């Protein structure tokens, strides 16, 4: 397990519960519970296997081995290990997900939140699919061989 040396990381042990906003300028390892928000601009957050986070997280790198509910904004990388359970949206440059990790949410690559700025999480905009737009300009269907608006079935042996 990737438990860091405590001298290198600030460490929240598994019996510790923190409620509120957590801000720091050093790397943080959380094996306990945190509710609120975590802001470690330029530093990394590691959620240990016993860690349970219910917070929006902003950091350079986020490594999740435990449970994290909340949005993640990582300027560099997000790493979900195989025991990770993560629910929330992710904005980062790179994502690594081990086989077996559970993730529910949106992934947005390459658009980290600017310092002090607002989150770039947005709801999606168009009401008609670009796929449909393209179809409208052509055959009426984006699938070759399928046309028209009434239900159409096309069976193809390949």
Partner 1 sequence: MASVAHSFMKIFRGSSAGPDQIAAPAQKSKRLTRRSSGLAELAKSFASEEPLCVLDLGSTSAANIRYLTGRGHKLYSEDLLVASTEPSLATKDEAGKPALDSKRFLSDNLAYGPGQFDVVLCWNLADYLDESLVKPVMGRLWSLMKPGGMLLAFFHTHEAGPDAPCYRYHIVEGDILEMHHVDPRREVRKGPTGVSHTTIGTGVRLQRVFNNRHIENLFRDFSSIKFFLARDHIREVLVIR
Binding site for partner 1 (CB under 8 A): 80, 95-97, 99-110, 123-124, 126-136, 141-146, 148-158
Q: What are the contacts of 42-50 at 24+ separation with CB within 8 A?
A: 42/75, 46/2, 46/4, 46/9, 47/84, 48/1, 48/3, 48/14, 49/1, 49/83, 50/14
Closer of 9 and 75 to partner 1 (Cβ): 75
- The nearer residue to partner 1, 15 or 150, going by C-beta atoms, is 150
150 vs 103: CA distance, rounded Å: 37
Least Cβ distance, residue 5 to partner 1 (angstroms): 27
> Which is nearer to partner 1, 16 or 146 (by Cβ)?
146
Count of other CB atoms within 10 angstroms of residue 113: 17
Closer by beta carbon to partner 1, 20 or else 100: 100
How many CA atoms, within 13 angstroms, populate the side-chain half-sphere of residue 76?
Answer: 11
Residue 81: in which H helix or E strand, if any?
Answer: none
Question: In the complex with partner 1, which residue's Cβ is closer, 18 or 101?
Answer: 101
User: Which residues contact residue 6 at a Cβ distance below 8 angstroms, ignoring those fewer than 6 apart?
Assistant: 29
């Amino acid at each position: 397990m990737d438990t860091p040396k405590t001298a290198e990381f600030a460490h929240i042990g598994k019996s510790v519960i923190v409620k509120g906003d957590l801000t720091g300028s050093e790397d943080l390892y959380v094996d306990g519970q945190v509710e609120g928000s975590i802001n470690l601009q330029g530093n990394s957050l590691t959620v240990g296997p016993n860690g349970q986070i219910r917070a929006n997280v902003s950091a350079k790198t986020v490594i999740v081995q435990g449970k994290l509910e909340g949005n993640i904004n990582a300027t560099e990388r997000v790493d979900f290990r195989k025991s990770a359970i993560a629910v929330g949206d992710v904005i980062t440059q790179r994502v690594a997900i081990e086989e077996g990790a559970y993730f529910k949410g949106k992934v947005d690559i390459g658009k980290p939140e600017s310092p002090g700025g607002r989150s770039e999480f947005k709801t999606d905009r168009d009401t008609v699919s670009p796929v449909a737009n393209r179809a409208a300009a052509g055959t009426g269907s984006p699938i070759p061989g399928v046309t028209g608006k009434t239900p159409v079935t096309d069976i193809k042996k390949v």
